[in-house]
Amino acid sequence: MTKTLAEFQTERTATNERILSGDNRVIKRFFRLDGETYEEGALSAKTKELLGLVASMVLRCDDCITYHIIQCAKYGVTLAEFEEAFAVALVVGGSIVIPHLRRAYARMDEVLAASTV
């Protein structure tokens, strides 16, 4: 985890704005589809964010892990729920997930501490 939570959010917002300022229809559609995927449906948005978190851990994407931890916290995911999701990711992904698990715990602690202030 090389960026603080604030740095991550600032960079993500700025780079997304830059990407979406272009005229590429495929990129814009993909970003819209990504956002729509996590909306309420047959599965709750909270459940979808937990699924995204597990997939991101298995795929070993630290930026995605951070994003989904932030979103999960917004939906009220508890420490116990985070830990169960982390356990699923570890079992599915295997020991190669451990470094990302370490960073996920640190980021989760940071996000949960910020959301209780």
pLDDT in tens, 63-111: 999 999 999 999 999 999 999 999 999 999 999 999 999 999 999 999 9
Compute the CA torsion angle 40, 41, 46, 50 (nearest 10 deg): -130
The helix-helix angle for 5-20 and 25-37 (nearest 10°) equals 130
CA distance 8 to 59: 19
pTM for the structure as a whole: 0.92
Nearest to 53 by CA among 112, 104, 113: 104
- Domains, in order of start, for the chain: 5-115 (1.20.1290.10)
Give me the percent of the chain exceeding a pLDDT of 70: 97
pLDDT at 25 (0 to 100): 97
Nearest to 85 by CA among 105, 67, 111: 105
Residue bearing tokens 């698990």: 101
